[in-house]
């Protein structure tokens, strides 16, 4: 799972995952509001992707997410 600062970044990351890594299934985008916040400005976006084949290395995804000021988290 990749955590991004906003929806635009999440959408760009989802497309880049398809383009750069050739994943078959488009990642799921999920809005994750911060605890106690109702303002859309205070929402992070999650890009949920499956890696059942073990194609991605943690360091590779860390660097990839950092390009959009995001990070990787284990579910």
Coil, helix or strand for 12? helix
> If the chain, 75 residues long, is cut into consecutive pieces of 10 residues, what is the mean pLDDT of each piece?
94 92 88 64 84 85 96 88
Two structure tokens written together for 10:
């999440």
Distances (CA, A) of 31 to 1, 11, 16, 35: 13, 11, 19, 12
pTM over 0.95: no
Two structure tokens written together for 25:
């299934």
Nearest to 2 by CA among 14, 38, 20: 14
Q: How far apart are CA 55 and CA 8, in angstroms?
A: 25
Q: How far apart are CA 75 and CA 59, in angstroms?
A: 16
């Amino acid at each position: 799972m990749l955590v991004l600062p906003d929806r635009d970044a999440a959408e760009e990351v989802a497309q880049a995952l398809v383009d750069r890594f050739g994943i078959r299934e488009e990642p799921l985008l999920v809005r994750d509001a911060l605890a106690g916040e109702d303002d859309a400005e205070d929402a992070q976006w999650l890009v949920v992707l499956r890696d059942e084949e073990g194609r991605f290395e943690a360091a590779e995804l860390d660097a990839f997410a950092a390009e959009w000021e995001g990070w990787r988290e284990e579910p």
